[in-house]
Chains A and B, each alone.
Chain A
Amino acid sequence: MSNIQYITGFATLENPLDIDSFVAKGGFSGLHSALAKTPAEVISEVKRSGLRGRGGAGFPTGLKWESVAGDDERYLVCNADEGEPGTFKDRFVLEHAPFLVLEGMAIAAYATGAQTGYVYVRGEYPHVVASLSSAIASAVKAGYLGEHILGSNFSFNVEVRKGGGSYVVGDETALLNSLMGNRGYPFLKPPFPTEKGLWGKPTIVNNVETLAYVPYIFTHGAEAFASIGSSGSPGLKLFSISGHIAHPGVYEFPMGTTVRELAAAAGGILGNLKAVQIGGTAGPIFDTAALDYPLDFASMRKAGGALGSGALVFMNTTVNMAHVLEVTMRFFAEESCGQCFPCRYGTRQLAFMANKIASGQGRLEYLDLMRDTTHVMVGASFCPFGQSIAFPLESLLDRFGDEIVSFIKQQEFLKEAAV
C-alpha cells in the first residue's frame, strides 16, 4: 500500500485558516502555474490527468469543463452539500484544507471562464460556513481570489451559501434550484448545467474533493496524478471510514486500494465483520467478500455497486439486518423530495413495510412486495435518488434475506407461543 498523501498532507497544518502556512507548504503554486497556461491548456492538462468527479458519479472533470458552452456569464459551484450517510470527507477538507478547495476553484474558473463561484455548504455545517468565509477573505486579501488574481487579467469571486437541510439537494440540478431560492427539486438533463445552469447560464458543478485535487495536477503534473491509482480511476481518493472499526476517520489512499487494506489502516474491525456498506446509503450492503474489492470506479461497478462518495460503514455480527433495512428505507422515505410519484409513494411503502418487519409485525410477502416496489422505482423515478434504492434493498435481501426471513418467522411464532 502506498503512503502518498496530498489533501491529508495539507490538512496537518496547525491553523488551517492561516494562509501563510498554506503557501509555505506549497499552496497556491498550482494556481501560479495554471495561470501561466491558456485556459484550453489547463483543460487539456486536467483531461490528461484523468481526474474523475469525487461527488459520486465519477464524471471526467476535464470533459465537464470542456463542455461549458454558450453565454459569457458563467458560474462555478462547489458542491459541499455532503449528505450521503457515512460520508464526512468534504467536511474534513473544508475544515482542514479550505485553501486547497479555493485554489482548485480558481483554477477551474480560469479554465472555464466563470466569473463567480459559489460554495454551497449544507446547513448542518454552520462552522464550515463561518471558517470558509474567513478563508475566502484571506485569499482575496492575498490576491489569490477577487480582482486581477496574481496580477493577471483574470478575476473571480467566491461566495458561500448555506443549505436548509435536504439530502436530495446534493444532486447537482437540485442544488442549482436550491441556490436560486427554490424548493430543491432535481430537474431534467439535458440541457446540462454546463449549458444552462444557474439563472440559465453555463454552470460547472464540482465536488469539494474533486476541486481539492485539481491543484495537484498543476504542482506535480498530470502524469504524476495519472500514475497513481488504477486504470480508469487515477489519483488519490478520500475514504470516510466508520462503524465498527478501531479508528474511524478520513483516509487518503490511491484508487484501487482494497477494502481489507483500508480496514487494516483504520486499525481493524471491532468484533467480527458481518457486512460493509460502500458508497453511502444509496450503495449496496456487502458481506465479507467485499474485503477483496479494490475501491475504484470500474471494480465497484463490477461488484454490482458504485464507489459513490467513498464511504465505508463496517458492521460487525452484533448488527441485526432487519434494523439496517428499517434505517435505510426510512432514510429514503424521509429524504425523497416528493417531486415524482413513484419515489414519493414507493419510499413510503418501503419504509412502512421495513418498519413492520423490524418491529416484529412483518409478513413474509413483504419481501417480494419490496422488491417489486423497487423495480417500479428503478424504472419510473425521475432522478437517481429513486432509482438507487435498489442497491441497498436488493443487496440486503440477496445477502441477508435468510436472516430477515427467520426473524419474521420467529416474530410470527412468538405471538402464539407466549405462555
Chain B
Amino acid sequence: MAMNGKGKAGETDDAVGNASISPNTTAPNTQIKYRDTLLFRLHEVQNRTRGKTWITKEELAGIAQDYGIPLAELDGIVSFYTMFSRERRGRHVIRLCDSLSCRICGSLDIYQHLRKKLGISRGMTTGDGVFSLEIVNCLGACSTSPNIMIDDHLISGLSLAEIDAMLDRLAKEGV
C-alpha cells in the first residue's frame, strides 16, 4: 500500500496544524501539559473510581484546562476514540467482538444470548445501570474467538452458562 498523495491540501494542513499547536518537548513524561499523555489521562479519568466508565462534562472541562486545549477541540478528540464515552455507561462495559474470526466462530450466539439475558441491544445500558453492551472490531485475540472484553479483561473460551455466572457475580458485587 502506498500513499497516492491525492488528498486535499487543506485537510492535511489542518491535521498537521493541530499537531504543531502542542508544545514541543524532549521530556514529555514529566509535564502534564504535553499532549502525548492526553489519551492516558482520558483513560485514567474515565475509570477514576470503580464502576465509573465515562467522562463527565466537569472532568472534560478540567482536562481541557490542564492541557490548555479548547473544550470544543477536546470534545472532538474524545469523540474520535471508541473507548471513551461522554455519556453515562453501565458499571461494567461489555465489548463483544464481531470481526470476521469471531463471527465465524460464534459471536452471534453470544450476542443473542446477552441480548436476551440483559434485555438490551448494541450500544445500550441496562435499566439498573450495571451493564453496557458494545459491539467492537477485532480485539487482537482471534486464536481464542469468539471473544468479549468485560472492562479490562479479555474473556474467551467460556460457555454461555459460564458467561452468565460471571455477569451474575458482577451484578451482585455492587460498586
Contacts and interface: CB of A to CB of B under 8 A. Distances in A.
A379 interface: yes
Nearest to B77: A183
A141 interface: no
A164 B84 contact: yes
CB-CB nearest 6 A-B residue pairs: A181-B35, A164-B81, A165-B83, A181-B38, A165-B82, A242-B142
A185 B137 contact: no
Contacts of A122: 140
A84 B11 contact: no
Contacts of A189: 3, 5
20 contacts: A73-B26, A86-B142, A115-B26, A116-B26, A124-B136, A164-B43, A167-B137, A181-B39, A183-B80, A199-B20, A240-B142, A242-B145, A248-B144, A249-B143, A250-B143, A340-B11, A380-B6, A383-B7, A387-B4, A388-B1
A165 B81 contact: yes
Contacts of B170: none
Contacts of B100: 85-86, 243, 277, 281, 313, 324, 327-328
Contacts of B77: 181-183
A249 B35 CA distance: 36
A159 interface: yes
A331 interface: yes
Contacts of A387: 1, 4
B12 interface: yes
B1 A180 contact: no
A284 interface: no
B8 to A, nearest CB: 8
Nearest to B18: A182
Contacts of A164: 39, 42-43, 80-84
Given A123-B83, A181-B67, A379-B6, 9 more contacts: A56-B1, A86-B99, A115-B26, A163-B81, A181-B38, A188-B9, A198-B36, A382-B8, A387-B4
B16 A187 contact: yes
B36 A181 contact: yes
A96 to B, nearest CB: 13
Interface in A113-133: 115-116, 118, 122-127
Interface of A: 56-57, 73, 82-88, 90-91, 115-116, 118, 122-127, 159, 161-167, 176-189, 198-201, 240-244, 248-250, 277, 281, 306, 311, 313, 315, 318-319, 323-324, 327-328, 331, 334-335, 337, 339-340, 379-384, 387-388
Contacts of A240: 142-143
B101 A159 contact: no
Given A86-B142, A335-B137, A165 B20 contact: no
B25 interface: yes
A91 B140 contact: yes
A201 B25 CA distance: 10
Contacts of B48: none
B101 A243 contact: yes
Interface of B: 1-9, 11-12, 15-16, 18-20, 22, 24-26, 28-29, 35-40, 42-43, 67, 69, 76-77, 80-84, 95, 98-101, 103-105, 136-145, 149, 152
Nearest to A130: B152
Contacts of B145: 242-243, 248
A242 to B, nearest CB: 4
B36 A161 contact: yes
B64 to A, nearest CB: 12
B11 to A, nearest CB: 6
Nearest to A285: B100
A86 B143 CA distance: 9
A346 to B, nearest CB: 14
Contacts of A281: 99-100, 138
A86 B104 CA distance: 12
A83 B138 CA distance: 7
A165 B19 CA distance: 19
Nearest to A187: B15
